[in-house]
Amino acid sequence: MAKPPLSMKPTGWFQVAWSDEIGVGDVHKMKYFDQELVAWRAESGQLTVMNAYCEHLGAHLGYGGKVVGEVLQCPFHGWQWSHEGRNVCIPYQDRPNRGRRIRTYPVVERNASVYIWHDIQGRAPYFEAPDVFASFGDGSSVDDYYPQQRLYRERLELHPQYVLENGVDFAHFKYVHGTPIVPVFTRHDFDAPVSFVDFTITFEGDDGQKIEDVNSGVEAINGGLGVAVTKSWGMVDNRTISAITPVDESTSDVRFMVYIGRKESKDPARAEARAREFGQEVIRQFEQDVHIWQHQRYSDPPALATDEYRGFTAIRNWAKQFYPDGIGGSAAEVYAAIQKG
Ligand code: FES
Ligand SMILES: [Fe+2]
């Protein structure tokens, strides 16, 4: 176990809650990126995520703050704050304080998750959080799937990048997940903040089969470092979302979600029970990874096998754009040095 050497203040979309945890009128306390935060849902349903401390005398709005219509009212002296974090009412003065503002975060609700845009330079979002259905452009929707199944692990000593590197790490599938043969990558596209990785993989058969004969695989879309979605083909229809969010300088919260495709069945209850079981199996496989990540020490520069350079170089170079200091892992430098001889 070791504190990640990569910045815990990366730029991008990060999950901070599930939508159903914050009903109308709720004020939800959270800590991410070393900040105390609150999320509150107005009468209209609109969700706001903001820093937790009142700009008046610093009360924590998560302890007694109240939603009043479309504003959040501080428990200490009743000042009211809008969706934009502006002070709109001081109850004992005829004018609000127009100058003071509580920092708010761009927020989207998608696939039952709440994502915030985090950027320490305060830039507006410049890419979108991926959608586990729409981003694949195949006309699928949540109605084609059984209810979302979830895993939530709090404050593990790991970094979001560990989880994404799994996507280019072909060798671990055999050892961590027990696949009979090593998968092969058919696409590595790290040109933009949203990147794509496809691979051919099977969980069935023995180690005598050839990967060329395998007819199943996974497509992954990484929306920055915080949120990745996957779609399977040629196996039990499943989609997953993994979302890793830094809490402080050494830990992150891990959320993982699975959808299993609905199937026509004479016995719908049994079909749904089987889908639940399969979903639990997918979660169990993800937990096998978590078990490694939470005890891992990030290796930089890593010792890599020849075939590993391409994928790790691509993902570590790509990851650098999300760090405030522009520094990610150094697999890329190692590769360049080897090329030079
Ligand atoms: S501290 Fe919030 S109203 Fe005074
Ligand atoms: Fe894995």
User: CATH code at 61?
Assistant: 2.102.10.10
d(C-alpha 180, C-alpha 78), whole Å: 63
Pick the range with the lowest mean pLDDT from 44-58, 109-123, 156-170, 313-327.
Answer: 313-327
- Structure confidence at residue 305 (pLDDT): 95
Terminal-residue alpha carbon distance, the chain = 34
6 assigned to some structural domain: no
Same domain assignment for residues 221 and 135: yes
User: Which of 111, 138, 166 is the endpoint of a domain?
Assistant: 111
d(C-alpha 190, C-alpha 319), whole Å: 9
Same domain assignment for residues 192 and 97: no
**Helical axes 309-319 vs 331-340, angle rounded to 10°:** 130
What are the tokens at 138?
């195949």
Mean pLDDT for the stretch of residues 299-310: 92
Average pLDDT of the chain is: 94
The answer to whether 53 and 36 have CB atoms below 8 angstroms apart is yes
Same domain assignment for residues 52 and 139: no
CA 47 to centroid of ligand 1, rounded, Å: 21
Please, which residues have CB within 8 angstroms of residue 244's CB and are 6 or more apart in sequence? 14, 158, 159, 160, 163, 225, 226, 252, 253, 254, 255
* Closest to 14 in 3D by CA, of 220, 243, 254: 243
Nearest CA to ligand 1 atom 1: 57
- With cut-offs at 50, 70 and 90, classify the pLDDT of residue 167: confident
Q: How many domains does the chain have?
A: 2
The answer to whether 321 and 27 have CB atoms below 8 angstroms apart is no
Q: Check if 57 has its Cβ closer than 6 Å to any atom of ligand 1.
A: yes
pTM: 0.94
Q: Check if 54 has its Cβ closer than 6 Å to any atom of ligand 1.
A: yes
Same domain assignment for residues 102 and 225: no
Same domain assignment for residues 53 and 151: no
Q: Please give the single-letter amino acid code of residue 65.
A: G
Q: Please give the single-letter amino acid code of residue 94.
A: D
Can you give the residue range of the structural domain that contains 95? 12-111
Please, which residues have CB within 8 angstroms of residue 270's CB and are 6 or more apart in sequence? none
